[in-house]
Structure 1
Amino acid sequence: MSGKVSLHYFNGRGKMESIRWLLAVAGVEFDEYFLTTRDQYEKLLNDGSLMFQQVPMVEIDDMKLVQTKAILSYIAEKYNLNGKDIKERVKINMYSEGLMDLMEMIMMLPFLSDPKPKLDNIQSKAKERYLPVFEKALDGPVYLVGGKLSSADVLLLECTLMLEEKFPGILADFPNVKSFQGRMTQIPAISKFLQTGSKRKPQPDEVYVKTVMQVFNVTSLP
């Protein structure tokens, strides 16, 4: 197993994108191996590389890690992005899981035959349930927890950028969140990751959707 971190997923965002973000912020170089065929996926299954027969899978420190939250937690702990004590960690986890819930709704949109009702639902939940939490948390503090950059901050930036792609101007009523976003994008590692040519992935397109469906042997959209 190579000493360099290796990511196994599709050539698209999905659940791997938050992992790419966190590695980039931690300054960790990584290789990517993209699934494009059913045979590649079955090879990972047959090799015993996928504990629950799912990707993303990350090779790091002589381990093959699966389950997005577990992978993010390991990276955050390894690179000091997980708070200074157990109380900070649980706050980071609460913020992070809420953000992942919201982002997973957005991730599913390309796979829906009629995304319009879901779009409306996402927008209302973002404005009424999720963004108010972060607007309050950032009323004064520079970062969400403990006055120090954490994985929750990275996820919040990723999430706000995803929201603005779908709903331009959605942060207009959340000035603290918008200011936070501006501060975060000035961090050198983040600024670099946002530049053209980085390993950040674009919004999912038809090719991405078709590839995922073929690899997982899915024949129709919901």
Structure 2
Amino acid sequence: MAHLVYFNGRGRGEIVRMMLAASEIPFTESFLTERKQFENLLEDGALSFKQVPLLRIDDMELVQTGAIVRYVARKGGLYSADDKMAAMIDMYYDASRDFQYIFLTLKFLKTEEQVIADAKAAGDSKYFPALEKRLKENGTGFLVGNSLTLADVGFLEVLLMCIEYGGEHFFDDYVEVQKYYQRLISIPSMANFLKSPFRKRKNDDQYIAEVKLVLNRT
């Protein structure tokens, strides 16, 4: 069984949780709430680059979110052995991370109102038209191939936040994106995850305080 070490919040850990769920890999998790916990991980050599999330899986201690989710995707059959398809999955997944970064600034650097405005502007100018075009071209209901991949899970995380913060009509002007979103949240593994305790709450003051305390940031 895999074990995730992160904060009791979303941040960069949520995509790891979503990928584990999508790949149907059972996992447990523990939360960092005190500086000493983080220091212990450093002393034990568990954090190669002095950062979390940390995933313990298959006798490995993995950090770097991209490496973690790609490993999980391969184990769960949500990647591709074909180099061209893998490159396409990487391209759309990395784009989803660029989009998602807007939400990572919430309450750390920007207010909710600023984040919503930035997300809407980025969505309308770049991401939603690109998704609309790709979904029409591929014609399978997924971004790459004919089944769920890492690319889809990456964008699902962002679309969920768009709806949660910006309202249910956030991407009403994009018919294919609407259908895509509804399709993804209806996939059993994703539907079950969204109803489970593994789905973390929105950023709140407690989460922000714990992150700053653990990482020794003001």
Which residue identity is paired with 2:184?
Answer: M
CA distance in 2, matches of 1:113, 1:59: 32
When the two structures are aligned, how many residues end up with a matched partner?
215
Q: Secondary structure at the match of 2:106?
A: helix
Which residue identity is paired with 2:45?
Answer: G
Q: Deviations over 1:96-121 (max 9, x none)?
A: 00101111210111212645444422
Identify the residue that residue 177 of structure 2 maps to in structure 1. 177
Match of 1:73 among 61, 70, 74: 70
Structure 1 window deviating more from structure 2 (141-150 vs 201-210): it is 141-150
Identify unmatched segments of 5+ residues in structure 2: none
Identify the residue that residue 213 of structure 1 maps to in structure 2. 212
Cα RMSD after superposing both structures: 1.3
Identify the residue that residue 162 of structure 1 maps to in structure 2. 161
Structure 1 residue 186: deviation in Å?
A: 1.7
Task: Please say if 1:42 is aligned against 2:64.
Answer: no
Structure 1 residue 126: deviation in Å?
A: 1.4
CA distance in 1, matches of 2:84, 2:104: 30
Identify the residue that residue 109 of structure 2 maps to in structure 1. 112
CA distance in 2, matches of 1:199, 1:33: 11
> Percent identity among equivalent residues?
39
Q: Secondary structure at the match of 2:74?
A: helix
Inter-CA distance 149–117: structure 2 relative to 1 (3 Å threshold):
closer
Inter-CA distance 149–118: structure 2 relative to 1 (3 Å threshold):
closer
Structure 1 contact 9–35 (Cα < 8 Å) conserved: yes
Identify unmatched segments of 5+ residues in structure 1: none
Task: Please say if 1:98 is aligned against 2:95.
Answer: yes
Structure 1 contact 192–198 (Cα < 8 Å) conserved: no
Task: Please say if 1:191 is aligned against 2:191.
Answer: yes
Q: Secondary structure at the match of 1:109?
A: coil
Inter-CA distance 206–55: structure 2 relative to 1 (3 Å threshold):
same
CA distance in 2, matches of 1:194, 1:171: 20
Task: Please say if 1:7 is aligned against 2:7.
Answer: no
Q: Secondary structure at the match of 2:217?
A: coil
- TM-score scaled by length of structure 2: 0.94
Structure 1 contact 8–35 (Cα < 8 Å) conserved: yes
- Where does 1:119-138 land on structure 2 (aligned, <5 Å)? 119-138=116-135
